[in-house]
Amino acid sequence: MRTVLKSGVAAGVLTMALAVSGCVTVIESGAQGTPAEETPAPMAEAAKTEINAVWPKLKDAGLVDAVVEAQIDAIMAEMTIEEKVGQVVQGDISTVKPEDLRKYPLGSILAGGNSSPGGNERATPQQWLDLADAYWRASLDYPSKRKIPLLFGIDAVHGHSNLVGAIVFPHNVGLGATRNPDLMKRIGEVTAYEMSLAGVDWTFAPTVAVSRDKRWGRAYESYSENPADVAAYAGKVVEGLQGADGGDNGVKPGHIMASAKHFLGDGGTLNGKDQGDALISEEELANVHNAGYPPSIEAGVLSVMASFSSWNGEKLTGSHYLLTDVLKDRMGFDGFVVSDWNAQAQVPGCTKVSCPSAFNAGIDMFMAPDSWKGIYENTLAQVKSGEIPMARLDDAVRRILRAKIKGGLFTLGAPKDRAIAGHWENLGKPEHRAVARQAVRESLVLLKNNGSLLPIRGGANVLVVGDGADNIGKQSGGWTITWQGTGNANTDFPNGQSIFGGISDAVKASGGTATLSVDGTYKTKPDVAIVVVGEEPYAEFQGDRQSLDYQSGERKDLALIKSLKKAGIPVVTVFLSGRPLWVNPEINASDAFVAAWLPGTEGGGVADVLIGDKAGKARHDFKGRLSFSWPKTAAQQPLNVGTPGYDPQFAYGFGLTYANKGDLLPLPEESGLKDAGVVNVDTYFTAGRVRAPWGFFLADPKGATGGDGALTSPQGFVTQTVVDAGAQEAGRLLTFTGQGKGEAYFGGTIVDLTRQSAGELAVALTYRLDAAPKGPVMLALGRDRFVYQEMDIAGLLTADGQFHTVKIRLNCYAAIGLRMTQIGMPFALKSEAPLKLTYTSVKLASNEGDAVCPK
């Protein structure tokens, strides 16, 4: 077996043995770098740069060998410039059609988080295989002397989670708690196998970020705050995905290409902002955030994805020093570097259709989902003009061809012709589900067990409560079926089981009863209640938080727990989250508290540990240990083991077992927040409440009136009343009288929605109309009610007395000139004609193929 850790990989990265045991001390530089001035684009021929010795030199991973290089020489000798440029461009299946590949010799396609066959996120496995096959065959129809197979990539970050029926593993935040590197390899193997069934060649995984601020929306994609843990896992995951010698001797059938990401420092940005800036020293960048790359490279990873983020003011996608001098030259990475989703547009001096500076800096393949044609045409022109040197293009093409050959693309054949592909009886097969169930069991961390309430006697009368109890989508989190992981039903997981399903099976097997009651009501008083609650699914910047307070203001889950306790029912809380959050009040109100993270589709793994046998004896013990420090207050970030002033509520490495006395004294309930209302930029009205920091207003030519509930504009052109809608007072009825222009809008502090616009998020309005609009209904966004852009959505509204959700893409407004950096009015509805509209939700939501631009 290949050794992936060695002495001296990087100062501050400890040995695997220490990382796994939990006896870890992190040594790192505390120095802060000074934000750089705007960095000029690299010159086409960069001068030789002195590389800081803090970066490790790695042993050869075997990607370069004489036979493969000779094969590459022969291929490149017959390639035109057009064909070479095509290899460095990747488009998304939502904008690239198979017939396009007969004209444009693209090297790769991807299916982004919300891209799917025919725009159907719940397409069948066979439709996914058909899609992969159609693109592959079309790519070989391009008129060329050499037929170069197309590379198909997808974000399979916790199993092949885009595919209905595939196994969804716990997210990395939970896997980090298992302290089991060998299990990571097995998870990689199962993921690769299920991807191979669908004819997919490449996953954008593993994420080897070291998350140092848990407010980051991608914290759950990180294994640990400790670089030693990430180093211990990274190489193992690569070996599982590609095979133990995939980089050296080639990826074999049943395995796929891996991509370590996001290089570099994405987990260290200021305030945990996604796509933000890591204002840290080079020593900290190397010793902490680079920890996962040496073992990945030595395990033979064939690609690395560059980060959206910046280091001291310089975008990583445009950093010649880090991409070329450090990654390729110093660390000897011989695979190729792919950019993130249109990341080139964030490099100074670039647009999403033109960025020679990023390519010259070391990007080998542009991920240009909707910009592929412009990138192709401009890059071709830049090579012909000499702005991009031919040597740089040839180096990028060589690296891509090397990965394609090592990845097996030249020998596998078309997706439908591969021996493994299409055998759907092997999708979610029992032995693979058992691996996921083991991962769930070992990831659970017991924080409290007063009076040894756990394990629960199997023959008990158990009430299972909360909106996460029978909700496989919620327990799986983001990057599940869709990008944000929202809108999923249990039927979307035919090979999965909810947490309630697992508890019910375990309790019934021992002669007990399990009753599901989301709201906590019951007919017969139970022996114990298991409350399953937690974060709603999110991905990337949509998960960024300003604090770690779980439920600011109205703590509805706390009220649920307390209502059960008041009735004299012992309560076990199972908390679903992508990071540690401040839940001291919820912990105090519970008799036992379990951090279950985002366990994926094997909810039975939770029951394996919580539910004992008929006599109450444990069937499985808790093994999970915190790989992220648990905060004492909601404002306690960043919080990392080994740093000055370290004072967590539960320390890194903490986790009770049944052998421990689990009683916990009451925890302090001061959140530490000065302004608990500042919590979101994307949710404006839900559950019958206007969400802080936003305010609601009705306006007409005489001015505006603000408030929440019953309101009337100054001239009475528009009114609002409180109505029941699914729940008591959960809706608002807007009545536009038709006497003149009336406006209903949410306003507040100026926010920047650039990332949300680029990420194809949409304004989502859940509404009911009993009668069709009699005139235009304008949906406006802007700085305020005086500076805005608007579109008529009347034609998109359905008037049938039922509730519907209409989604309007933010980038529709950007396209007509709205400055997305200056949004103080994220939603305004206007009408001059009579209109009655009831709404229950106004927020930003993921485009799951159902968001549009009004015509």
**Cα–Cα separations (whole angstroms), residue 489 to 122, 473, 848:** 11, 6, 14
156-172 as b/e: b if 16+ CB within 10 A: bbbbbbbbbbbbbbbbb
d(CA 766, CA 805): 4
- What's the DSSP call for residue 537? P
**Cα–Cα separations (whole angstroms), residue 417 to 133, 149, 421, 429, 439:** 9, 14, 7, 22, 33
Closest CA to 698 of 721, 723, 720: 720
pLDDT of residue 441: 98
CA 497 to centroid of chain Cα atoms: 22
Closest CA to 635 of 552, 753, 575: 552
pLDDT of residue 601: 98
Structure tokens at 378: 């401009």
Find out whether 588 and 637 touch, Cβ atoms under 8 Å.
no
Q: What is the mean pLDDT of residues 206-222?
A: 98
Counting Cβ atoms within 10 Å, is residue 221 exposed (0-12), middle (13-18) or buried (19+)? Answer: buried
Backbone angle region of 414, left / alpha / beta, with phi > 0 → left and psi within -120 to 50 → alpha: beta
| 297-346 residue pLDDT tens | 999 999 999 999 999 999 999 999 999 999 999 999 999 999 999 999 99
d(CA 368, CA 345): 10
| 245-277 residue pLDDT tens | 999 999 999 999 999 999 999 999 999 999 999
Strand partners of residue 530: 464, 572
**Cα–Cα separations (whole angstroms), residue 334 to 55, 195, 298, 337, 637:** 16, 24, 11, 9, 37
Considering the candidates 130, 221, 334, 540, report the single residue annotated as catalytic: 540
Structure tokens at 410: 């030249």
pLDDT of residue 554: 73
d(CA 435, CA 190): 8
**Euclidean distance between the first and the last CA atom of the chain, given in angstroms as a whole number:** 59
Q: Is the dihedral of CA 794, 800, 801, 805 positive or negative?
A: negative
| 568-625 residue pLDDT tens | 999 999 999 999 999 999 999 999 999 999 999 999 999 999 999 999 999 999 999 9
SS3 (DSSP) at 565: helix
Q: How many CA atoms lie within 13 A of 186 on its CB side?
A: 15
Counting Cβ atoms within 10 Å, is residue 538 exposed (0-12), middle (13-18) or buried (19+)? Answer: buried
Q: What length does the chain have?
A: 855
Residue carrying the six token digits 């070989």:
140
Find out whether 711 and 718 touch, Cβ atoms under 8 Å.
no
R_g of the chain, CA atoms, integer Å: 27
Closest CA to 637 of 692, 555, 578, 582: 582
**Cβ neighbours of residue 495 closer than 8 Å, sequence gap 6 or more:** 165, 166, 167, 427, 428, 433, 601
Catalytic residue flag (residue 340) = yes
Catalytic residue flag (residue 536) = no
Structure tokens at 747: 């306003």
| 451-474 residue pLDDT tens | 999 999 999 999 999 999 999 999
d(CA 632, CA 627): 16
For the chain, what is the largest distance between any 2 Cα atoms, rounded to a whole number of angstroms?
81
Find out whether 796 and 806 touch, Cβ atoms under 8 Å.
yes
pLDDT of residue 5: 30
Q: What is the mean pLDDT of residues 146-164?
A: 97
Residue 855 — pLDDT band, cuts 50, 70, 90? confident
d(CA 614, CA 612): 7
Closest CA to 830 of 689, 694, 681, 704: 704
Find out whether 614 and 506 touch, Cβ atoms under 8 Å.
no
Work out whether strand 711-712 and strand 461-465 pair parallel, antiparallel, or are unpaired. Answer: unpaired
SS3 (DSSP) at 572: strand
Structure tokens at 613: 């046998």
Considering the candidates 83, 201, 239, 340, report the single residue annotated as catalytic: 340
Structure tokens at 388: 């991009």
Q: What is the mean pLDDT of residues 634-647?
A: 95
Residue 675 — pLDDT band, cuts 50, 70, 90? low
What is the DSSP code string of 622-646? Answer: -----SSPBPSSTT--S--TTSTT-
| 800-845 residue pLDDT tens | 999 999 999 999 999 999 999 999 999 999 999 999 999 999 999 9
What is the DSSP code string of 711-734? Answer: EE-TTSSEEEEEE-SSSTT-EEEE
Residue at 485: amino acid letter: G
d(CA 849, CA 851): 6
In 573-697, where does DSSP find H-type helix? 584-589, 604-610
| 96-140 residue pLDDT tens | 999 999 999 999 999 998 899 999 999 999 999 999 999 999 999
**Cβ neighbours of residue 67 closer than 8 Å, sequence gap 6 or more:** none
Find out whether 363 and 323 touch, Cβ atoms under 8 Å.
yes
Q: What is the mean pLDDT of residues 200-210?
A: 98
Find out whether 257 and 290 touch, Cβ atoms under 8 Å.
no
pLDDT of residue 544: 92
**More confidently predicted of 754 and 130:** 130
Work out whether strand 571-576 and strand 528-534 pair parallel, antiparallel, or are unpaired. Answer: parallel
Residue 42 has a CB neighbour count (10 Å cut-off) of 21
Closest CA to 172 of 164, 339, 482, 183: 183
Q: In the predicted model, is pLDDT for residue 24 greater than 80?
A: no
